A = this chain, B = another copy of it.
Amino acid sequence: MLSKLLTPKAQKMESSLVRELLHYSQQPDILSLAGGLPDEKYMPSYPAIEALEVSQQYGPSEGEGRLRHQIAEIVKERGVAVEDNQVLVTNGSQQALDLVSRIVLDENSIILTEQPTYLAAIQVFELQGAQIKDVRSDEFGLVPDALRRAIEEYQPKAVYLIPNFQNPAGHCYSKRRRVEIAALLDEKGVLLIEDDPYFDLCYEDVDRTPITHYLETAPWVYMGSFSKVLWPGMRTGYVVSCEALVPYLVKIKQAADLHTNRLGQLMISEYLVSGAYPEHIKKLRRVYAQKRDAMARAIDVNLSGLVSYSLPAGGMFFWVKLPSGVFSDRVLRQALERKVLVLPGLPFFANASELSDGYLRLSFARVSEEDVSNAISILADVIKEIMDESL
Contacts and interface: CB of A to CB of B under 8 A. Distances in A.
A219 interface: yes
B58 A13 contact: no
Interface string A250-262: 0110111111111
Interface of A: 1-2, 5-10, 13-16, 19, 35, 37-38, 40, 43, 45-46, 52-53, 55-59, 61, 90-92, 94-95, 98, 102-106, 109, 120, 123-124, 127, 157, 189, 191, 219, 227, 231-236, 244-245, 247-248, 251-252, 254-264, 267
For this chain, the copies found in one complex come to 2
A261 B261 contact: yes
Contact of A10 (B123, B248, B254): B248
A264 B55 CA distance: 11
Contacts of A2: 244, 248
Contact of A98 (B52, B127, B234, B256): B256
A123 to B, nearest CB: 5
A104 B37 contact: no
A243 to B, nearest CB: 11
24 contacts: A1-B244, A5-B104, A5-B219, A6-B104, A7-B102, A9-B106, A10-B102, A10-B103, A10-B252, A15-B247, A15-B251, A16-B251, A45-B53, A58-B227, A90-B257, A91-B257, A91-B258, A120-B258, A123-B254, A233-B261, A233-B262, A234-B262, A234-B263, A261-B261
A309 B290 CA distance: 69
A235 B257 contact: yes
Contacts of A262: 233-235
Contacts of A120: 254-255, 258
Contacts of A124: 255
Contacts of A256: 91, 94-95, 98, 256
Contacts of A102: 7, 10, 127
Contacts of A232: 56-58
A371 to B, nearest CB: 17
Nearest to A18: B254
